[in-house]
């Protein structure tokens, strides 16, 4: 009887696996990988741990990806798209650029503090890509996507301003991306939320003043 049950359960698992498309299986492993890497770090993340998190047999991993590096490419794409969605969802371009800067940066900051491990994992991935032959392009692509998404959002908001701005939008975006990167690192090291919130306010105010507009928030 036990052998019969085991056989039935095994067939059920095989049917369940067969019903999952290759793309859905890849997405399942990417989501699981992000959770494991955020929680345990890149070094300790193995295909076995990812499969366990996904609730799938380890062998299924090798049907979805050629190797761990191919998975990491999809992971970088997924976490980059997360940040893009946070920014786009937070900003109403019709409110103008000052509001876009404040709303976009505040929303991104909430995304940062909501998951420490996720932020550390993204820096680990960037360093891994820079140090791994043939993967430097991925770090460059990730950074360029962040800047491109921010530029698109802020340009849409700038289009609702009645007059010219005091700074080129590409320069403004580069300043904001660099400033927020530094702020994230400071938070990960100090976890001083009050200090980081003050610095976030200063970044928002400085960026808005660079455009020639009046900041929407006047005090930290």
CATH topology of domain 1-65: Arc Repressor Mutant, subunit A (1.10.10)
Domain boundaries, the chain: 1-65, 67-220
Same CATH fold assignment for domains 1-65 and 67-220: no
pLDDT, tens digit, for every residue of 127-149?
988 998 888 998 898 899 889 99
pLDDT, tens digit, for every residue of 150-188?
999 999 999 999 999 999 999 999 999 999 999 999 999
Q: What pLDDT shows up at residue 61?
A: 85
Query: Selecting from 1.10.760, 1.10.150, 1.10.357, 1.10.510, what CATH number does the domain 67-220 have?
Result: 1.10.357
Assign 103 a pLDDT band (cuts: 50, 70, 90): very high
pTM of the model: 0.83
Q: What pLDDT shows up at residue 197?
A: 95
Lowest mean pLDDT among 15-24, 26-35, 173-182, 191-200: 15-24
CA atoms of 151 and 157, how far apart (whole Å): 10
Burial class (CB in 10 A: 0-12, 13-18, 19+), 12: exposed
pLDDT, tens digit, for every residue of 201-212?
999 999 999 999
Is a pLDDT exceeding 60 seen at residue 219?
no
The 10 Å Cβ neighbour count of residue 179 is 18
Q: What pLDDT shows up at residue 174?
A: 96
Mean pLDDT of 72-100: 93
The 10 Å Cβ neighbour count of residue 89 is 11
Q: What pLDDT shows up at residue 6?
A: 42
Mean pLDDT of 183-202: 95
Helical packing angle, 193-211 and 169-190, nearest 10°: 170
- DSSP 8-state assignment for residue 67: S
- What's the alpha-carbon Rg for the chain, to the nearest Å? 22
Q: What pLDDT shows up at residue 19?
A: 61
CA atoms of 80 and 142, how far apart (whole Å): 6
Mean pLDDT of 63-77: 86
């Amino acid at each position: 009887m036990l052998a019969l049950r085991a056989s039935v359960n095994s067939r059920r698992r095989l049917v369940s696996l067969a019903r999952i498309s290759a793309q859905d299986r890849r997405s399942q492993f990417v989501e699981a990988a992000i959770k494991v890497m955020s929680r345990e770090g890149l070094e300790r993340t193995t295909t076995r741990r990812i499969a366990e998190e996904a609730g799938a047999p380890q062998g299924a991993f090798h049907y979805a990806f050629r190797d761990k590096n191919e998975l990491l490419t999809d992971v970088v794409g997924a976490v980059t798209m997360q940040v893009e969605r946070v920014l786009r969802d937070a900003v109403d371009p019709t409110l103008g650029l000052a509001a876009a800067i404040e709303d976009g940066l505040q929303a991104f900051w909430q995304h940062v503090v909501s998951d420490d491990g996720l932020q550390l994992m993204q820096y680990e991935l960037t360093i891994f890509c820079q140090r791994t032959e043939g993967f430097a392009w991925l770090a460059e692509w990730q950074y360029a996507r962040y800047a491109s998404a921010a530029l698109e959002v802020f340009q849409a908001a700038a289009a609702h301003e009645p007059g010219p701005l005091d700074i080129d939008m590409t320069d403004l975006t580069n300043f904001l991306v660099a400033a927020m990167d530094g702020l994230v690192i400071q938070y990960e090291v100090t976890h001083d939320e009050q200090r980081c919130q003050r610095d976030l306010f200063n970044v928002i105010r400085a960026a808005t003043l660079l455009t020639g507009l009046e900041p929407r928030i006047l005090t930290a």
